[in-house]
Amino acid sequence: MTSARICLRRSVGAAVVSLLAVLTGCRGRTAPPSEQVRALAAQMAPGRFEGAGRAYALPYRLFVPRGYQASRAYPLVLYLHGASGSGDDGVAHLSSDVAALVSERVQALSAAFVLAPQCPRDDEWVNRHDRPPFANYLQANVPESDASKMTFEVLERVRARYNVDPSRLYVTGPSMGGSGTWDFITRHPGVFAAAVPVTGVNDPSRAPVIAGLPIWAFHGSRDAISSAANTRAMVEALRRLGSPVRFTEFEAVGHDSWTHAYANLELYRWLFAQRGRVDPRR
């Protein structure tokens, strides 16, 4: 599929960015959660995972599908937040992206669990601790972060408690979460049925392990924090392998491409239609 390049009116983008700012705040904020964030948090069960030998506990929020029935298997969307959501309060990471995932219009397409872990400020989904502008990297030189390891442990805990469809596990995230999405699927191939990385960085040399995975990637053409060239490099590597990867590059959009990606209802129709092979070892 040819990459889509979409031009959006700045006024619309500005309005959505304002909403995102209200919902997420900025790194290191001390203000109490907004009314919107409190309302979103009330829809999601809080949790903290304290793994053996870990330096910290990992907070997370779990949305359980409305009218959940244990006799029915449901898909699960793992959402990895961007850097502004880092912390340990269990709410700073509840962005407008999460609000979209649990909204009635998206849940009406397919009732689904939404798992949103919160990475602490001194860790990252990808253990690089780099500064912008961010560039692609070699995964072999970067050990898996504790936040990543603990997230997979939380995922297994949720799957043990609820009837989660193992063939419909999805992962997505913006910015730091987009990098985490690429890292998760290349470090743990076979776990997810589809992935939606939004901006972020990756390791194109790892393309062979995800060549068969349904992926819809998004990036802004004017992203000065993480150049769209980072995503283009992976997309090109995947397409050389015959991958059906989809790529939408928003014209005249900077780093906040997530505000446009997650507003696209077609994204969720595509996502919920994806089904993976179930590995009997998992």
Question: Which residue ranges make up each domain of the chain?
Answer: 4-24+34-273
User: Is pLDDT of 3 > 60?
Assistant: no
Give the domain 4-24+34-273 fold: Rossmann fold (3.40.50)
What is the value of pTM for the model shown?
0.89
Q: Please enumerate in sequence order all residues whose Cβ is within 8 A of that of 42, keeping only pairs 6 or more positions apart, or say none.
A: none
**pLDDT tens per residue, range 74-100:** 999 999 999 999 999 999 999 999 999
pLDDT class for 53, splitting at 50, 70, 90?
Answer: confident
- Nearest one of 87, 34, 41 to 62, comparing CA atoms: 41
Whole-angstrom CA distances from 195 to 59, 67, 161, 217, 277 are 22, 26, 23, 8, 14
Q: Between vectors from CA 265 to CA 69 and to CA 213, what angle results, nearest 5°?
A: 75
Whole-angstrom CA distances from 131 to 36, 128, 191 are 30, 9, 30
User: Is pLDDT of 238 > 90?
Assistant: yes
How buried is 35 (Cβ within 10 angstroms: 0-12 exposed, 13-18 middle, 19+ buried)? Answer: exposed
Percent of the chain with pLDDT over 70: 87
**pLDDT tens per residue, range 155-179:** 999 999 999 999 999 999 999 999 9
pLDDT class for 15, splitting at 50, 70, 90?
Answer: very low
SS3 content of the chain, % helix, strand, coil (to 5): 35, 20, 45
Instruction: Compute φ and ψ for 268, nearest 5 degrees.
Output: -70, -35
Percent of the chain with pLDDT over 90: 84
3-class DSSP assignment, residue 115: strand
Mean per-residue pLDDT of the chain: 90
How far is it, in rounded angstroms, from Cα 11 to Cα 16? 9
Buried b (16+ CB within 10 A) or exposed e, 45-55: eebebeeeeee
- Whether the CB-CB separation of 112 and 74 falls below 8 Å is answered with yes
Of the candidate ranges 7-21, 47-61, 163-177, 189-203, the one whose mean pLDDT is the lowest: 7-21
Buried b (16+ CB within 10 A) or exposed e, 141-173: eeebbbbbebbbebbeebbeebebbbebbbbbb
How far is it, in rounded angstroms, from Cα 8 to Cα 152? 36
Ramachandran bin of 117, using left for φ above 0, alpha for ψ from -120 to 50, beta for the remaining angles: beta
